[in-house]
Amino acid sequence: MTDKHVTRRRLLRNTAAGVTATGMAGTAVAQESPGRKIVGLTADAPFGLARKAASEVTHELDFDRVGKVVSGRFPAEAIEGLEKNPNVRYVEDEGTMQALAQTLPWGIDRVDADVLHANGETGNGADIAIIDTGIDADHPDLQANLGTGEDFTGTGSWDDDNGHGTHCAGIADAVDNSEGVVGVSTEATLHAVKVLDSQGSGTYSDIAAGIEWVADQGYDVASLSLGGSSGSSALRDAVQYAQSNGVLLVAAAGNSGPCSDCVGYPAAYSEVMAVSSTNSSDGLSSFSSTGPEIEIAAPGSDIYSTYNDGGYNTLSGTSMACPHVSGAAGQLMANGYTNSEARQTMKDTAEDLGLASNEQGAGLLDAEAAVTGGGSDPVLTVYTDSATGVGETAATLNGTLNDLGGASSADVYFEWGEAGSGLPNTTSTQTLTSTGSFSDDISGLSSGTEYEFRAVASGSDGSSDTGATQSFTTDSGDGGCFITTATAGEGHTLNSLRRFRDESMSATPVGRGLVGLYYRISPPIAETLERNPESLTARTTRSIVDRCASLSDRQDETDSPAESAFLGVVLTMLYVVGILIGAGGHAGIRTRELLDSS
């Protein structure tokens, strides 16, 4: 199989800037990476649409129904063309985030994880991914629990060259071996996913690639002690993809405190469990970010844990709070809980500290109560997937009923409307008796317009859930397109030619010039052909268009780069011939019409 047909390609080249860990208290400010862009594609668009326009590619990420992402360097003229393409969901700047930074650590004791250990609960069977600076592969308190890892920074190794990731790993899952420290879990399998460099910095697309990898491995928990003040569409795609594939994502809220409504990203996303930090007096840590996104609190001040070179260190930050929750989540998922069940159970059994809800969420994590006494009922859960089949006036909305909870069935539908309108429209209701995907077609849309939608589920037991809001932009249309007129809008032919236009023609300056010329001269030709559908010009245009569509299909299917290049040249030549025939025929017909009218 050639690379053309691989659905999970990763081009792991080093990028110029990074996302940073959130372990040490301080403000993490997301910054742009100069010259680098992230292009989000629709789920059914080929990677080549963006790849061919790039001068350098760093990542190609496939998030299934959520969509695709290509990151790298793009010429300014290529970006201009991509932003106008209906198969492009967004174009954003690449950016960076910052790391949020056998004795029994006080935090392990405070969440009663030591009671779990005494009861034989170890997290054995769970997979916890530490998405961070890596993990010290030789640390005596971690080595026995280490599984496979992956590097996304370009260094070639997932070993920790900073210390932040190793510190977080020890909190979540240090071995109970009578030396050093002990984690919330003690026998879960740890996976080092290195997305941050030695300075604790990494790019949006590196982190998105790491999250995608975790989901594709089928791991249970993704621990994200990192963040920034602004989000990224690519990161949102990644967390939606991971959540829909059963991963429980836990993230540090951020170290911007004291402040209000300042939870960082990715913690602020609804698919992610945001964790604030408390101190040994059960007060809110002075540095902890707060906001309505906070779901739970955990110890984060003065946490003693594993560190690089087999050592130990005391650090403070919501980065330290996050792996307490990740370790507890591992315990629950080792006991058969799904990601949504584990998330809800930890909230249902949390201890109320008397803090405001935007500071503590449901309360302080109580790992022992969650695992041995909590057991909440399953929760009705619905996800919103990306739209497909987006045209000028119609689109298909997609969703997934992930969990029925305690209901025997659920009514599902979509709320939708133009962006900013408040989703005033609803689709018809479908009743599902089992989990799975669902969709609905909407029509009567305005061309070149951005729309928003979300999936909604109502359980037979009275429960309900709403998915995250997604968006799409309708095709601006081929108004005055004489090819559309000549073919009477035949779908497959038009889609084949649009694909050639978007992937091949628009990828080069010459091609973009030809496309621009076509759309400048096309409207009057289209009008002429519409009045004379059986003229020689119309019939010849149809013949050329059919041949072009056939060659475009063949180019898309071939595994040979040489054949693909040859077909591209032939198609370009036919494209030019089509323009000349259309223009010449239009001139001849108009001349005849003028003579007849004189």
d(CA 97, CA 169): 19
Residues 6+ apart with CB under 8 A from 529: 482, 485, 486, 535, 537, 538, 541, 582, 585, 586
Q: State the pLDDT confidence band at 335, using cuts at 50, 70 and 90.
A: very high
Question: Is pLDDT larger for residue 121 or for residue 497?
Answer: 121
Task: Answer yes or no: is pLDDT of 427 > 80.
Answer: yes
All structural domains of the chain: 3-95 (3.30.70), 106-374 (3.40.50.200), 380-473 (2.60.40.10), 482-597 (no CATH)
The residue annotated as part of the active site, out of 112, 127, 132, 403, is 132
Q: What is the pLDDT of residue 593?
A: 57
Residues 160-188 pLDDT 10s: 999 999 999 999 999 999 889 999 999 99
Task: Answer yes or no: is pLDDT of 151 > 70.
Answer: yes
Do 267 and 291 meet the contact criterion of CB atoms below 8 Å apart? no
Q: What is the pLDDT of residue 582?
A: 59
What one-letter code names the amino acid at 457? A
Q: State the pLDDT confidence band at 323, using cuts at 50, 70 and 90.
A: very high
Q: State the pLDDT confidence band at 507, using cuts at 50, 70 and 90.
A: low
Residues 6+ apart with CB under 8 A from 359: 276, 284, 288, 290, 294, 297
d(CA 142, CA 4): 39
Task: Answer yes or no: is pLDDT of 434 > 60.
Answer: yes
Q: What is the pLDDT of residue 379?
A: 77
Per-residue H/E/C for 404-417:
ECCCCCEEEEEEEE
In the 8-state DSSP scheme, what is residue 267? T
Angle at 451 between CA 445 and CA 457, to 5 degrees: 105
Mean pLDDT of the region 528-546: 70
CA 478 to chain centre: 30
Task: Answer yes or no: is pLDDT of 489 > 70.
Answer: no
The residue annotated as part of the active site, out of 285, 289, 316, 319, is 319
Angle at 143 between CA 332 and CA 370, to 5 degrees: 15
Q: What is the pLDDT of residue 291?
A: 94
d(CA 286, CA 280): 12
CA distances 175 to 189, 302, 369, Å, are 10, 20, 22
d(CA 193, CA 143): 15
Structure tokens at 211: 């999250």
d(CA 189, CA 307): 18
Mean pLDDT of the region 392-412: 90
Considering the chain, what is the average pLDDT of its residues? 83
Q: What is the pLDDT of residue 118?
A: 87
Q: State the pLDDT confidence band at 491, using cuts at 50, 70 and 90.
A: low
Which has the closest alpha carbon to 96: 19, 173, 149?
Answer: 19
Mean pLDDT of the region 405-420: 93
Mean pLDDT of the region 365-391: 80
Question: Is pLDDT larger for residue 597 or for residue 178?
Answer: 178
Q: What is the pLDDT of residue 483?
A: 57
Question: Is pLDDT larger for residue 463 or for residue 589?
Answer: 463
Q: What is the pLDDT of residue 488?
A: 52
Mean pLDDT of the region 229-246: 91
Q: Lowest-confidence range among 209-213, 508-512, 586-590? A: 586-590
Residues 239-292 pLDDT 10s: 989 998 999 999 999 999 999 899 999 999 989 999 999 999 999 999 999 999
Q: What is the pLDDT of residue 11?
A: 25
132 is catalytic: yes
Q: What is the pLDDT of residue 126?
A: 97
The residue annotated as part of the active site, out of 59, 117, 164, 167, is 164
CA 117 to chain centre: 36
**Other beta carbons less than 10 A from residue 286's beta carbon:** 13
**DSSP 3-state percent helix, strand, coil across the chain (nearest 5):** 35, 25, 40
Q: What is the pLDDT of residue 99?
A: 78
d(CA 514, CA 508): 10
Q: E strands, 425-559, where?
A: 425-426, 430-432, 436-442, 450-459, 464-466, 470-473
319 is catalytic: yes
d(CA 476, CA 60): 26
Question: DSSP alpha helices (H): ranges in 55-143?
Answer: 76-83, 106-110, 113-118
Task: Answer yes or no: is pLDDT of 147 > 80.
Answer: yes
Cis peptide before 266 (omega within 30 of 0): yes
Mean pLDDT of the region 149-166: 96
Residues 37-50 pLDDT 10s: 999 999 888 999 99
- The conformational region for residue 594 under phi > 0 = left, psi -120 to 50 = alpha, else beta, is alpha
Do 56 and 72 meet the contact criterion of CB atoms below 8 Å apart? yes
